[in-house]
């Protein structure tokens, strides 16, 4: 395993998707060994998510998170709300 001092965190900007922050947090927390213990999530007013972790989320992961978020969505919710 890599030393935490040598681990490089990457920033991924996610936009144009409906992803509930709680669903994203649960997903990443359950995979801390992949994303790193110091991962971060920042929500912007322009419906963008800035995600910092050891690796980016894949398109398949983003699709899955969006699908889960949409199934939990109520009719009046906008993008990225919890």
What would the pLDDT profile of 10-32 be if each residue is shown by its tens digit? 999 999 999 999 999 999 999 99
- Average pLDDT score over the chain: 87
Strand partners, 18: none
The model carries a pTM of 0.78
pLDDT level of residue 35 (50, 70, 90 thresholds): very high
How far from 23 is each of 2, 3, 18, 59, 69, CA to CA, in Å? Answer: 28, 29, 11, 16, 7
Q: Does the domain made of 10-71 have the CATH classification 1.10.3470?
A: no
Angle between helices 59-71 and 21-29 (to 10 degrees): 130
The mean pLDDT value for 50-78 works out to: 88
């Amino acid at each position: 395993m890599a030393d935490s001092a040598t681990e490089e965190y990457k920033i991924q900007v996610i936009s144009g998707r409906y992803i509930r922050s709680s669903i994203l947090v649960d997903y990443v927390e359950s995979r801390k060994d992949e994303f790193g213990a110091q991962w971060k999530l920042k929500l912007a007013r322009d419906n963008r998510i800035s995600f910092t972790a050891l690796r980016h989320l894949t398109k398949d992961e983003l699709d899955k998170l969006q699908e889960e978020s949409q199934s939990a969505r109520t009719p009046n919710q906008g993008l990225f709300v919890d």
